Structure 1
Amino acid sequence: MQAGIVFVFPGQGSQYVGMGKELAQAFPIAAQTFKEAEETLGWPLTKLCFEGPPEELAQTQITQPAVLAVEVACLRVLTEHGVEPQAAAGHSLGEYAALVAAGSLSFPQALKLVARRGELMAQACAPGKGGMVAVLGVSAAQVEEICRRVKRGVAEPANYNAPGQVVVAGDQEGLEELMELARKEGAKRVVQLNVSGPFHSSLMKPAAEGLKVELERVTFSRPRIPVVSNVTADYVQEVEEIRQNLITQVASPVRWEESIKRLISDGFEIFIEVGPGNVLSGLVRRIAPEVKLARVEDPETLVNTLKMLGKEG
């Protein structure tokens, strides 16, 4: 496969108040994207993205469509400037933006799906009953072994993000035991994440079942460019495979490190993070220090990316 550009789209946790605002002020196509999102969903997404309040923006049923809207706004601005991806991948929620970039899903379809996905994920586990913990500085195999030793509750690997960084999801009892064990096993850091549920674990199975109903109503198209699935860390091409992977994804681990390695093994050398924050840029840098990295979330980062690619702003 020819060396080329990969667009990578972040997931939940990358949101912040003010995301997308400068882009929408600078580029009519970005402003139109937010307007389209509001018309599709019927609630003030733009105000929540630009002004908050942060506690409302952090509610998963709001976070998911809000982050997607920012990602598609950034995607459209990039396309307008002549930057097209040759492949795409997204972390968790970001996979929906990757499918929009590949022409498999329309933006309104993706918005409705992630809004429902957020509702189902919020309902699957009561607030305060479950969460996620990042375990840093030990191998994935060690984290898996520690999870197997947890007896008091649920603790399961949820995100294989980068070498020495695995996120575990579970209920509070399981995560407390996991944190104790991980520290004893020499983890450099064990960090409880500011998320509202145990995403990508078996505790999300009710959400996966509910999402299955929604996904079976949607018409997908074959992707125009290679898209790497979180579930398989491989390319998805068939419509039914895309649908099934999005169902499975809700209660299964995100295999991000493997996904990036797959793209690099096929010759992709430029990774552009499209959307709020720089979480994925940091992960890609840890996985493959040799690749070229850029990101686009506002006019300044757009200019920097266009310069790196040798294009005029």
Structure 2
Amino acid sequence: MSNPIVFLYPGQGAQYHHMGGELRSGHPVFAASIAHSSELCSAYLSPSLLEVLYDPAKRKHHPFDDLRYSHPALLAFELALSDTLLAEGIRPALFLGYSLGEFVAMTSSGVLSREQAFTLVCSQAKAVLETTRASSMLAILSEESLFHHRDDLFKETWLAAVNSPGHFVVSGFPEVLAQLHVRLQAEGITSLILPVSRGFHSALVDPLRTRFFDLVTGIPLNASGLSHVSCALQRRLSPADFGPELFWAILRRPVQFQRTLQWLETSGPYTYIDLGPSGTLANFARQILPATSASTVHHLVTGFGREIESLRDFLEQRSHS
């Protein structure tokens, strides 16, 4: 009997121009889904989401960090990939959300309608830009303990995410993170500035709080049949969790992907499928799972092409399992 399937939805930092471009050209379900998502954003974005995401003048390596577009682009991409797998007969038991990916999980699991999700994500991006200062996030290839034991390095930064035993993220102002990057490099520690224009999951977004609560208060939610696992709360959500405080926790608390996956594994094994555009959560999951785990991990899109072939290979593998 096959393991239950868990869809993994990443957040900011995974996006790039032309993500899903091959699927858009070669799979009608993906194309229709992402076109519909662009229409749902039309009241908030001009030029359209599709025009910016698939701008022929842009290459994959060009920065895609304008929150007005990167927020809904990730939601649209991950929903389109979900729709594609569902159309191919892949049925998840659980949806695991990481940061912005929590809104995708809520939408895929039916808690939010697509109209609600795009209204919320587009409005949130606008509010973030209007209420907070420019800041950034730095991914660091080291143990989380480095952050806690090296105050000399990490003053004026906030722990934003713990992704795997050798990967965590901090938020801070650009000049602070630039200096930190240089100091880490001098100590032989690899780090990378993420393509994000705000330091989420830190005190840097606190000026947004009042306006954010105005956005999320009173949103009607369908909390029946919940199958959403949250990296903010590190567990499966219950109907009692849903409300403004949960939405704020998703934005403000550190993302605990490592601890959440370890908790989920206690009820495993599972088949984890990364529905992001870069395969980052699949990489983290492989680092987290012990060698004795019977769970399997898959990704479909990485940014290196072969999107149609990867989907076909995955479906063929599933048909023989």
User: Do the two structures share a fold, i.e. TM-score over 0.5?
Assistant: yes
- In structure 2, distance between residues paired with 1:37 and 1:93: 16
Tell me the residue number matched to 1:295. 299
Tell me the residue number matched to 1:102. 109
Residues 49 and 173 of structure 1: CA distance in aligned 2, closer, same or farther (over 3 Å): closer
Tell me the residue number matched to 1:49. 53
Q: CA deviation at 1:140?
A: 1.5
Q: CA deviation at 1:173?
A: 5.2
SS at match of 2:111: coil
Residues 108 and 258 of structure 1: CA distance in aligned 2, closer, same or farther (over 3 Å): same
SS at match of 2:95: strand
Residues 124 and 136 of structure 1: CA distance in aligned 2, closer, same or farther (over 3 Å): farther
- In structure 2, distance between residues paired with 1:71 and 1:213: 26
Please state if 1:89 is matched with 2:96. Answer: yes
SS at match of 2:255: coil
- In structure 2, distance between residues paired with 1:311 and 1:58: 40
- Worse-superposed segment, 19-28 or 260-269: 19-28
The alignment yields a C-alpha RMSD, in angstroms, of 2.6
Tell me the residue number matched to 2:140. 135
Tell me the residue number matched to 1:226. 227
Q: CA deviation at 1:142?
A: 2.7
Q: CA deviation at 1:252?
A: 1.6
Tell me the residue number matched to 2:12. 12
Tell me the residue number matched to 2:202. 201
Query: For residue 171 of structure 1, what is the amino acid of its counterpart?
Result: F
- In structure 1, distance between residues paired with 2:79 and 2:123: 18
Q: CA deviation at 1:206?
A: 2.1
**Deviations 1:113-158 (Å, cap 9, x if unpaired)?**
111222222334333xx21122222x2233123358755xx21100
Residues 247 and 228 of structure 1: CA distance in aligned 2, closer, same or farther (over 3 Å): same
Query: For residue 39 of structure 2, what is the amino acid of its counterpart?
Result: E
Q: Given that residues 121 and 199 in structure 1 are in contact (C-alpha distance below 8 angstroms), is that contact kept between their aligned partners in structure 2?
A: no
Query: For residue 220 of structure 2, what is the amino acid of its counterpart?
Result: T
Q: CA deviation at 1:72?
A: 0.7
Query: For residue 233 of structure 1, what is the amino acid of its counterpart?
Result: Q
Which ranges of structure 2 fall in alignment gaps of 5 or more residues?
302-306
**Deviations 1:135-185 (Å, cap 9, x if unpaired)?**
222x2233123358755xx2110011110211111124543565576568x
Query: For residue 58 of structure 1, what is the amino acid of its counterpart?
Result: D
Q: Given that residues 29 and 80 in structure 2 are in contact (C-alpha distance below 8 angstroms), is that contact kept between their aligned partners in structure 1?
A: yes
Please state if 1:280 is matched with 2:281. Answer: yes
Q: CA deviation at 1:60?
A: 1.2
SS at match of 1:212: helix
Tell me the residue number matched to 2:316. 307
- Worse-superposed segment, 289-298 or 57-66: 289-298
Which ranges of structure 1 fall in alignment gaps of 5 or more residues?
none
Query: For residue 52 of structure 2, what is the amino acid of its counterpart?
Result: L
TM-score if structure 1 supplies the norm length? 0.87
Query: For residue 227 of structure 1, what is the amino acid of its counterpart?
Result: H
- In structure 2, distance between residues paired with 1:37 and 1:101: 13
Q: CA deviation at 1:187?
A: 6.1
Residues 125 and 17 of structure 1: CA distance in aligned 2, closer, same or farther (over 3 Å): same
- In structure 2, distance between residues paired with 1:175 and 1:147: 14
- In structure 2, distance between residues paired with 1:161 and 1:146: 19
Tell me the residue number matched to 1:244. 245
Q: CA deviation at 1:309?
A: 1.7
| Identity in percent | 25
Query: For residue 317 of structure 2, what is the amino acid of its counterpart?
Result: M
Residues 311 and 103 of structure 1: CA distance in aligned 2, closer, same or farther (over 3 Å): farther
**Deviations 1:261-299 (Å, cap 9, x if unpaired)?**
122111142100113121111111111154312123432
Q: Given that residues 89 and 95 in structure 1 are in contact (C-alpha distance below 8 angstroms), is that contact kept between their aligned partners in structure 2?
A: yes
**Deviations 1:54-91 (Å, cap 9, x if unpaired)?**
66742012101011101111111111111111111122
Query: For residue 157 of structure 1, what is the amino acid of its counterpart?
Result: L
Equivalent of 2:83, from 76, 83, 86? 76
Matches within 5 A, 1:168-179: 168-172=170-174, 174-175=176-177, 178-179=180-181
Q: CA deviation at 1:8?
A: 0.2
Q: Given that residues 144 and 157 in structure 1 are in contact (C-alpha distance below 8 angstroms), is that contact kept between their aligned partners in structure 2?
A: no
Q: CA deviation at 1:198?
A: 1.1
- In structure 2, distance between residues paired with 1:180 and 1:299: 39
Q: CA deviation at 1:47?
A: 2.1
SS at match of 2:260: helix
Tell me the residue number matched to 1:26. 26
